[in-house]
Every structure is written in structure tokens, then in C-alpha cells.
Structure 1
């Protein structure tokens, strides 16, 4: 009986003991080293999980000073396609392609597939490589200093924009709204972009052909980054390695010969010079460690099992910190679950923290002489090559850095510069400055490109876009004429319309009786045509549908009547009192004469018998 009582007491106390267990973090050994503005801390720690179980962990923490910036990067091959590389290779590639900056340290980034990240990926230069987040994850926006701006589950996009940068300083010169890629109807004042374009109605004229350095395609947008413009005056011809720009705007044509270009959709208010980094989940929220039920991420195993981890966090001043925990190495570092990971972040002074890709992807690097070295212990790869990933997060040192403050009030922008040794450009036009405070009026109807260039190094220190903020009444399209045209083997419906703001994105026609749908193809601006099989005579009903770029949809009905022509009846001869003509007399006389001959023959035969 006594043994039973003790057992019951233990069963009663066990839930209380489990409930009382708390996450724990204890530093066993720590070393610190500073390299070019990054403080590298390596920690051996004992971590306690929610069940009270302890484990040994190897933790690496990277903190930048104020001289550094932060960005993300992906590798693109000679054909402009994204290729997975390990973090060491990504750092080397960044330095090669961005000589005005130098990588100091970094870690791997988002979850990935072959040649693509899982979630939104906007890398250095605000290049939008991938536009959408996976349904399970989210992305975070970081400014150029690596500070957290906001998290985004769903990112909204506007129209395609053409961004022109000075090919030497990379100052942003102009932002131009363009129609859809490969739109052949380029009118006065408009600009068109053509990629792998093949059409019967190819436009021609003065244009510039660029070599593609980067390109990507997602469900919601295409992205292109191109250099080396070549002037041509001919029919547009493009391929998968070229992109052409044809503009009927003289201010654009003046900039194209000396520009590198970026083509992408305007992304949900993400600032120029900012980046987007896909994350698995937020695990530390305003100094509170989230429960597993709120963390989400990939699945229960990823959340609650112990794995190598990579993360990014932010301290009380919103300064970024990169952190890795090694794992799958018995006796050295077992790895942590996501609540343990959040505890490590919290214990090291972070207030907000996010989980990145971990497992065999976990890699931390730092500058070592003229190259880089791995400073954690990855569970996969080594000693010279490691798992290839789609992007990485880097602390970078610019050759020129300046604090430029901006303030927008109504339609007035005020910039405060460190000194007058800077060049200020507004839409590619240099502004006159005589003091460190510069104020100028913006055109609210266009996207205003503002850039600041260090005159000593000729390096851009500030790029920003202030998108059009003029609110005007939308002028909707109007259908002016719908006409059915019957041909020998087909029936065509032509739709004429006025669309001054070029809002129509798609138009199609439904043949109601047969539930047949046909796309109304563009013939030229203001005319589309849908072609059906030959129709039978009778009354036919059609529905014309058109969708706008705003997401709005409109439709109306159209009726076409088609009847076969009937054969005309032979008209009667009009009565007349005039004498009969010779032909009429003969027509009457000949039958009477024949009758007389017959009567005479019958009379003679009868007389002979008698």
C-alpha cells in the first residue's frame, strides 16, 4: 500500500515538474575577436530545453559596428541564371561584382530549391529576384544598415518599372513606368521593354540592346538586370540573353547609352536600397519567446527537434546580429529546437529574432586576409566546399559611406548632407547645392529618383525613389464599337475602344450558345479581335469581358444576326395594248398551223375507209 501511495505521489508531481522546467542558457567558454568592424564571438554553452534536458552547443555570433552595412546576395552565372553556391563562393562573387563594397562576414539565408529561394528574395541594389513568399513562411525587409523595417507575409506589387543607374557610380537616374513586357504598341512618351520577343508585329526604330547579367521569372513577375547598351536602329530582335529598350521619351533616350538597367515590378513600398530576406518564422517577439504553437515554420519536426540553426536578430536599438548554432555532432554540438534557439538569442541581448535555413545549410564566414574562412562547424561538406544555397546575408563595408537624412513634406523633399562634397541628382539632373541642406520640389505625378554621390570616390551613398503620389480620378476604358465580320471560313468580332490610361490587361469573348471562349488579341492600340469558327445563319449572342490592371472586371453582351439571302422571284410581264411583235405572232401561229395539219390528215384517212 505504501509503495502504491509513493507511485501515485510521483505521478501527481511529474506534471508539476515538467511544467516547472524552464529554458536555460549557461556560457561555459567564450572567445571574442574583431575583424574589420565585425565582432565574432564563439561560445560553448549548456542549453536547457522545456523538458529540463540539457545539451552542449557551439554558438557563433556576429555583430557589426556602425561603419558597416548589411545586404543579401545570390549568384548568377554567365547566362544570367541563379545558381546555388556555398556561402564562401557567394561572398567572393559579391566582392567581384560590387568592387565599391567588401564583404566582412555573413551567414546563409533563406530556405531554397535548385536555383531559387523559397520566399521573397530582394538582393543588393533592391533587385527583386523572387517576388512571392511560400505559404508557410514570410519575409522581412531590411534597410541598408540591416535594421528591421517590417515583416511581410503577402507582398503587393504595382506595375513594371524601368530603373536606370549610372554605369560608373550606380546612382539612380530615373524610374520609368512601362507597359507589360513585349508590348508592341509603344506610343509617344512611352517606353517598352522586349525579352525573347518574336512577333509578326515587331516594332522598329532607335532602341538599345543590353546584355543580361541577371534574370528570373516567378508567377507574379519577371526580373532583369542588364548592362552594356548597344544602340540599334532596326526591327527589335531579342533572345534569352538580351533585353531591348525602345523609348519614345527623349529624356529616357538621353540616359540609356550610359546606364545599366533594372526591370521589375514596384514592390509593396519596399524602399530603394533595402532588401527582402525570406525567413522560416519569428521565434523571439519583443523579448518574448514564442510557444511552438505560434512559431509555425515548416513542420513540427523543424520546430521541436534539435537541428543546426541559422538566424538573424535585432537588439534594443534595432541593430542586426547574425547567429548560428551547430548540430548533429555528438559531444560537440547537438543542435537546438526553435525555442532553445530563441533563448540563446534572448540571452545575448536580442529583442526580436527570426529563424533562417538551418541543418546542413548552416554556415558562418568572416574575412581572412584576402579571402574568407568558415568560423562555425557545418554538419555538411568541408573542408573547402559546403552545401550550396540560394542566398546569403552579409555585413559589407562600403568604400564611401555617409549619413544622408531625408524628410518629405507634401511635395517638398529636404536632404541633409554631411558636407558639400557631394553631388545631388534629381531624376538624373544635377542640383545646385551651396550648403549641406538641400530642398527641392517634387513632381507628384511621376516616380522621383533621388541620389547622392560622393565627389571624392564617385560612389553613390544614397539612392531613393519617391513614387508618384498624385491622386487622380481613373479614366476607365470605353467600348466604342463592336462589329461582327463573316469570312469564308471564320467569324471575327472586332472590338474598338478608348483606353487613355491603358488599363485593359486582358480581353476575351464568349460565344454564349456554345460556351466557347476566345482571347481578343491586340491588333493595335484601341482594337482587339476574337476569331471563331464559321457560324450558321440566325441570331447569335456573345459576351465581351475585359479585365483591368487594377483587378476590376467588366463585361457586356453583343448580338449578331446572320441570315442567308433569298432568290428573287421572276417578275411578270407587264400588260400592254401595243400590237404583238413578230416573235409573239410566230409563237401563236406555229401551234395553230400544226393543229390544222393534224385535222386534215384525220379527214383524209376517214374518207379513204368509206
Structure 2
């Protein structure tokens, strides 16, 4: 009996355990199945097995995920890094490359070094994370020469914009070859922040991004454009009324030859911030390799600097350029000390973006996968991708590969799309893959490589895409005004790695410190608008921020003189006289109980007017956002009543002041 009960007890216990095991197992299978994401064609899938999530600067999110892709029922281990950040002006997705030492081009650096250089050139901004960008020509050209003696090296495969400057508007092969697509970033907080198009000059579709021409812009210290002028020729003598750019270029040797130039008016930049030709109409030998009709040989130039010489003859060397101005309008505007930018510009919206990079494959668009039969995309490979989510949040993604034994297999097109779908990326573009794939994130003020580059260490690349944020965020607004003063309020909403001890506002060249978030500025003029700039003091001293605005002092109250009466054949016309109408927002004439709008009818005529009738004028004046006055004048065409009204107002104000 005892044995039977014991058997029944264990039998029941085992049944309960089996039920529990089945339920739990079913739950786990269901959970895994619910997190598997499939490519649109169902040829690949992806799921995460381990995820580490970290916030960066309180605006970006970094995912370091281990997972698996599924292809033909085979599971492949993957390591995926994802950076997500909303971009709205205070946070951005930008591009960058490091200039070489003689300001005649660029040098390859690791992504971490590019991020460090970006911060050094953009005080007030911090990089939260970055990845490599476009592919690039880096050493040997088609003729087998190094140091740029084939065509300009290094340069990206396609167009590249940084800081709004078109460093490479025209690619090395505009009619074919690499880099035939471009994407620009608006950073305006909208849902669709990516502007993309084709840059292959053979393309005649509406998506083609076309060159508008070579332009010279005269700019101020902050690169704001003062005026812009078309440049007609490159390294050719301009005709009367034309202008030309002169600059040396590589021509089949390892060193750049100098160039003798002459002209009536040569405005020379001998110590340029940047100057180089990245393509030339003289590179006709390219026809042997990738084109017909010599079409890929096109002039391409970027130059920036301050005019420091005006001559009739000169010798230009590497990193220098000159403008020959036979155009009177341009000649009159150019002078010593003028800062200029010369570049090939685009038609349309692409010309206005702050940052843009080329890419080689569209991965997803309108939340749909695009398939590819390219041999590059059908093999497992390390991938680097940028894109956006449905809300407009920008995304940088890296997928490690060529390290299967370490759990990093790499992906093909279908696997990559399954991964992008998993993270909610609805629009995506692929850039340089393989050993170039690198992601860094900010870690205690330094940049840490968080993926596993296929080369074993971070490769030196040419360009990078960076997610950035202001290192201090300040809001400011006007809170009050009198005729001679204004009050302002400022608030620090966030900081990143900065110990701010004071906030100041600069108006009329003078700094005023905020105390408990408020400041009052006196000795101003009535009814004037004053621009202001916010400065901050920290451990390094006082520095300017990008935060600015305007304040407006209160206008003086308008003085009513009298209401002129002019008798006409139609009746009596009323013409009110004030010393200043600018602040008057309402002006009403009351005549025998009827209202007449004198602002809408400035020469109001009333037939059968009787001077003994009841007449008054009511007016409102908006002196500032904070002060509005109302006034009634009875019998306004009598000077005596106006004087009495003024006396009454004065006494009323005086008595009110006594009791305050």
C-alpha cells in the first residue's frame, strides 16, 4: 500500500513537472518566434540573443547586440551595433574628413581620429558616435602612380559635403564607375530627413542631382554668404565681362607642378584654408579604362581662403588659387582681406544641406526591402549602413563579419535587410563595407571602438558620419521691457562634459551676467531692436555659443495732437494727427453713438456733420509685448480738450505713483 501511494505521488509530481516544462518551453519558443524578423522576401531572418543598451549624452541610444541570422534553416552568429538619435538642429548627423598638413586635400584616419578632429574644429559640439562613410580611392590610381599623380588622391568614390561646403561636388568618374548616388541630411526634426539622388551624369531622370556651375561666394567670419558670383572658366583666359579660376593640378608626376598666371586683375589666395583640383579636363587618358569620348575628364575644384595679394602676374603652387576678374561687378567686390569660397554647386535642395555622402546600395525605401544580385551583396560580408526610422530618428548600423569562429559571420543583402527591419529602419543605404566597417561611441570623453573590425583593428578611412550634439543647451527669452531697458531669462537645459560657472549675454558689445537666470540691460533707446548672443564661462574661460536672439525696447506712447476737420462737398473729413502712428493698433471715431474705424478708413467723411454733436476718439497703442495703453479723447478737434486730456493723464499717473 505504501509503495503504491509512493508511486502515485511521484507519478503525479512528474505529471505536474511535465506540464510545467511544456508550458514554459512553449512560452520560450513563442517568445523567440515573436522576436524573429524576416526579410520581405522571406529568404532571411534575424533575432537577438543578447542585447546591451546604453544612452549617450541623453539624446542617442547605442545597441550592442549578439544575435543570429537564418538562411535556408542555417543559423549564423552575428554582432550588430546600432546608433539611434533624433536630429533637430541641436543634434545632427554630419560628415567629416581630416585635412592634410598643407591644406591641399585630405588624409586617411581612423573613425575615432576623424571624430576627434571634428570636435577640434567645431567648439560647442560633441560627437556621441560615428561610423565610416563612403568608399574611397586611396593609393594607386589607374596609371599606377601614388601621391595623387593619377587623379587627386585620396578622394571618395562619390560626392561629399561637410559644413555645407562641397568638398567633392564632381566625382573622379562622373559619367560612370563608382559613387553614383548621394544622400544629404536635413537635420530639421522632420520625419523624412534624408535627401537622396543620382550623380551619374548619364542619368536623365528627375532624381539626377545636377551641377549648377562654379561659383565664388564672399563670406564673413562665420561663413555666411555676403554675395555670390558665377566663375566662367578654369585655367583659361577670361573674356571681357568674364571671370576665371586659376589653380595648379597633378599632371602625371608625383609632385604638383607650379603654374604661371597673368591677368589685369588677379586676386590671389596664397595661404588657403583649403585648395585642390580633384579632377581635370586634362585627364583624357582615363578613356583607356572606364569611358568613351573622354567624358570623365571634368574640372572639379574646392577652394577657401582670404585674398592676400592683388597682382597682374604670379606663380601658383600647391594649395594656392587665384581669381582673374574681367567682370566689373565681381572686381569691385573683391579686395584684400576678403574671404572667399570657390566650389561647384548643385541645383535644388542638395545645395543647401550641411552634410552629404555617397553610398553604393539602396537597402530599404518606404519600409520595403530592395533586393540585389550584385556579387558584393550576395555574400556574407561586414556591412556599414545609415538610414532612418519611421519617426525620423537617424540610424547608423554596423554588422561585423569575416570572423565566424568568433560569432561574427557577416551578412548578405537579405540578412542585412532583416536586421534593419528588426530595428525599425524604414529607409537605409549601404556605404563602405569589409575591413573599413567601424563604429565608435563616446565613453568618458574618449572614443571607443565597439564593433570588431575585420582587419583586427580600426582601419584608416577617408570619411566618416558622426552623430553630434551641442555640449551645452541654453534657452533664452525676453521677459520684460521699458523704453530704455529690457529683461532676459536664460536656462541651461543640458550640459555634456562642461563645468559652466556663468552665463552671459552680449548686447551692443557689452557683456551682462545672468543672476539666478535673469538679467536687466539699461541705457537703451526706445522702440529699438537689439540682437544678442549668449556666452558661457567655464574652466577654460569665456566662450561664444550658437544661442542668440533679439530683444525689443518699449516704444514711447504716441502723442495725440488733434483731429483735423476738412469740409468737402460730401461732408466733413476727419484726419487724426499723432506724432507717431507705428504703435497704434486701434483707432475708433465715435459720432452720435456710431463707431467708425479710422485705421481702415484714414480719410473718413461724414455727411451732414454737426459740430455740436457728441464726438470722441478712442485709440489703443501696443508699446511692447508687455504694455498696451487705451485712451479716449472727447471733442478731439478742440485743442483745449486735448490739452486738458493730457493734463488729466499726467495728474492721474502722478497720483498713482504716489500711492504705489
Corresponding position: 1:181 with 2:230: no
Q: 1:235 aligns with which of 305, 313, 318?
A: 313
Unaligned runs of 5+ in 2: 1-39, 139-153, 201-208, 250-257, 280-296, 476-504, 508-526, 536-542, 549-660
Q: What TM-score, normalized by structure 2, do the two folds share?
A: 0.53
Residue of structure 2 in register with 1:285 after alignment: 365
Q: What TM-score, normalized by structure 1, do the two folds share?
A: 0.58
Residue of structure 1 in register with 2:615 after alignment: none
Report the Cα distance in structure 2 between the residues aligned to 1:333 and 1:71, rounded to whole angstroms.
28
CA positional deviation for 1:144: 4.0
Q: 1:211 aligns with which of 256, 271, 274?
A: 271
CA positional deviation for 1:201: 7.5
Q: 1:435 to 1:281 in 2, by over 3 A?
A: farther
Report the Cα distance in structure 2 between the residues aligned to 1:261 and 1:422, rounded to whole angstroms.
28
Question: Mean Cα displacement is larger for which, 34-43 or 249-258?
Answer: 249-258
Q: 1:331 to 1:99 in 2, by over 3 A?
A: same
**Is the contact between residue 126 and residue 272 of structure 1 (CA under 8 Å) also seen in structure 2?**
no
SS at match of 1:342: helix
Matches within 5 A, 1:82-481: 82-114=106-138, 115-132=154-171, 134-135=176-177, 138-145=180-187, 147-154=193-200, 155-167=209-221, 169-185=222-238, 187=240, 191-196=243-248, 202-205=262-265, 207-212=267-272, 213-218=274-279, 219-247=297-325, 249=328, 254=333, 257-269=336-348, 270-293=350-373, 299-300=374-375, 302-329=376-403, 330-382=405-457, 386-398=458-470
Report the Cα distance in structure 2 between the residues aligned to 1:381 and 1:435, rounded to whole angstroms.
59
CA positional deviation for 1:23: 2.2
Report the Cα distance in structure 2 between the residues aligned to 1:459 and 1:113, rounded to whole angstroms.
37
Report the Cα distance in structure 2 between the residues aligned to 1:100 and 1:106, rounded to whole angstroms.
17
Q: 1:253 to 1:319 in 2, by over 3 A?
A: farther
Post-superposition Cα deviations, 1:455-502, rounded to whole Å, max 9, x if no partner, equal 76767799xxxxxxxxxxxxxxxxxxxxxxxxxxxxxxxxxxxxxxxx
Q: 1:324 to 1:227 in 2, by over 3 A?
A: same
Report the Cα distance in structure 2 between the residues aligned to 1:400 and 1:145, rounded to whole angstroms.
18
**Is the contact between residue 399 and residue 410 of structure 2 (CA under 8 Å) also seen in structure 1?**
yes
CA positional deviation for 1:332: 2.0
CA positional deviation for 1:454: 5.8
Report the Cα distance in structure 1 between the residues aligned to 2:268 and 2:463, rounded to whole angstroms.
31
Report the Cα distance in structure 1 between the residues aligned to 2:41 and 2:305, rounded to whole angstroms.
62
SS at match of 2:84: strand
Query: How many residues are treated as equivalent by the alignment?
Result: 392
Q: 1:205 to 1:177 in 2, by over 3 A?
A: closer
CA positional deviation for 1:394: 1.0
SS at match of 2:234: coil
CA positional deviation for 1:57: 0.8
**Is the contact between residue 210 and residue 242 of structure 1 (CA under 8 Å) also seen in structure 2?**
yes
Report the Cα distance in structure 2 between the residues aligned to 1:243 and 1:31, rounded to whole angstroms.
51
Alignment RMSD: 3.5
Matches within 5 A, 1:476-487: none
Report the Cα distance in structure 2 between the residues aligned to 1:279 and 1:28, rounded to whole angstroms.
30
SS at match of 2:117: helix
SS at match of 1:89: helix
Residue of structure 1 in register with 2:95 after alignment: 72
Report the Cα distance in structure 2 between the residues aligned to 1:305 and 1:32, rounded to whole angstroms.
29
Q: 1:206 to 1:305 in 2, by over 3 A?
A: closer
SS at match of 1:304: coil
SS at match of 1:196: coil
Q: 1:320 to 1:214 in 2, by over 3 A?
A: farther
CA positional deviation for 1:359: 0.8
Corresponding position: 1:31 with 2:91: no
Corresponding position: 1:45 with 2:67: yes
Report the Cα distance in structure 2 between the residues aligned to 1:336 and 1:434, rounded to whole angstroms.
63
Report the Cα distance in structure 2 between the residues aligned to 1:151 and 1:453, rounded to whole angstroms.
39
Return the index of the structure with the highest Cα Rg: 1
CA positional deviation for 1:203: 0.7
CA positional deviation for 1:125: 2.4
Q: 1:123 to 1:311 in 2, by over 3 A?
A: same
Report the Cα distance in structure 2 between the residues aligned to 1:391 and 1:121, rounded to whole angstroms.
9
Q: 1:177 to 1:143 in 2, by over 3 A?
A: same
CA positional deviation for 1:205: 3.9
Unaligned runs of 5+ in 1: 1-18, 294-298, 404-420, 424-432, 437-451, 463-610
**Is the contact between residue 161 and residue 167 of structure 2 (CA under 8 Å) also seen in structure 1?**
yes
**Is the contact between residue 247 and residue 276 of structure 2 (CA under 8 Å) also seen in structure 1?**
no
Report the Cα distance in structure 1 between the residues aligned to 2:232 and 2:445, rounded to whole angstroms.
45
Report the Cα distance in structure 2 between the residues aligned to 1:163 and 1:399, rounded to whole angstroms.
30
Question: Mean Cα displacement is larger for which, 108-117 or 70-79?
Answer: 70-79
Report the Cα distance in structure 2 between the residues aligned to 1:89 and 1:68, rounded to whole angstroms.
20
Report the Cα distance in structure 2 between the residues aligned to 1:340 and 1:182, rounded to whole angstroms.
50
